[in-house]
Structure 1
């Protein structure tokens, strides 16, 4: 027989061969680990909907940071949960607030680990929204003033990167101007540029105590419609024009097409957020013995890299770092 066809399997014939031609890799340098910080002492409280994830008081945070440093995870993103909440989220921009204390503590003991500050109001407001509320509506421009104060306070505490997640119009421009005015022109902005009003955030709202409580009971008036694709490019371009240094697409798995669209249309470092619901589903299935957790997680994170992500915010960061060390 004289058949003519391509023998693609030649490049799959052994693990060594497959490794040589592999196109995408997960590295420790790609990982950003989220942490939830609460006030008090001796608190390490597991989040019921996120097995293996905890709320930490500052004394327990230092123990966790030593583990993170030993695993060579290069960056953490911090979410603060204050004891006191009000309609203006004043603890978000309190220079002695829980997040600011955590930033100072980490930078003092682990100066080489990048600290990313989530810049939003939802964890700090008694209504649970990312901006100010007036007549049951989240108002935009007045909220920007509070977000600028929050970003400046976080930068003063020593944050390496400001990561605004609020999805107000003009938030990157406002925060960039506010940081520059206070001589923080060298602090980069990692913008949640493309953030959808997703059902995958449910466990996070348990972790950060940030579910909407009054006014509109969802965030659909400021986060994006999951049905929209072209809108992501408009949001992306606005943040680029306003001075963003990194772009985030959130969530990850149901939005890999969006990650690829953003990658194809910009040259900034691109981050995907492997969110709480994506984490919780894998953990639940693994605990029931239905899946191979390690293989599933590596495959999912590889899909994010293949779609164009440079970095991944993921609750699996510690697990992945351990697996990479073992391999």
Structure 2
């Protein structure tokens, strides 16, 4: 056990201000993100997943078993405060977002696999996320005390996640089935706009809590950096161990490494009263995860370009 993180005051004792109106806006934004994912999801994506059960099973195990378990061990190794540990566990239990599909495309990966895994992951998260948060949070030596003080109900969280994920997902898939052309156009608009809206919500929240942010951000910088690197490394390593081809390895890396931290942030304010460490982890992860993902995708794309024969070269 070693403490890598600066202990600037007690992050467990602070809360991030977030009024009811802002919480409603956040719910609408997260619902829009999930609706956007569903607009790009077809029933055939689930059928395609059934045709690749082994690969999908590997991805599910990596996201909902190995990542939360490794996150738990990382929180112990870093000796973080209880609220920071819970924030890391919560983010690890979140499903992937469609940013993973975008990054997979930019990296030249298997987009079909990425879309299928995103669809399956979001459906399973409705049931597995509350159980994972309750299980791993309840095992953590310092996070457990914070969790007990909040008296979190896994059933309440399941209902909230089902509402935020399930309803937009069903509506989006239905629209994509009935009006595929309209869904395709709507996806190109709703996806980018909803993520810009999420970024705006996070930035406004940071501005309104600037003193808290500048005082305590150092507590989570190292944790989020290592946690994000661990998540993407897990996706890459498990794909290599399973001997997946290169494009599928890229998809698996982003599906495991990219988490919907916006959903985690919503749950922090809904059930944890904006608990300091949890809110900071979810907010900063939502920013850093995209930066790191874009860097990895760019590196893969550059590597692929350098491997391609020059124009006019004999293959």
Shorter-chain-normalised TM-score: which range? under 0.3
Indicate the structure with greater strand content: 1
Larger RCO: 1 or 2 (CA < 8 Å, sep 6+): 2
Please state which structure has a larger fraction of its residues in helix. 2
Larger Rg belongs to: 1
Structure-2-length-normalised TM-score: 0.27
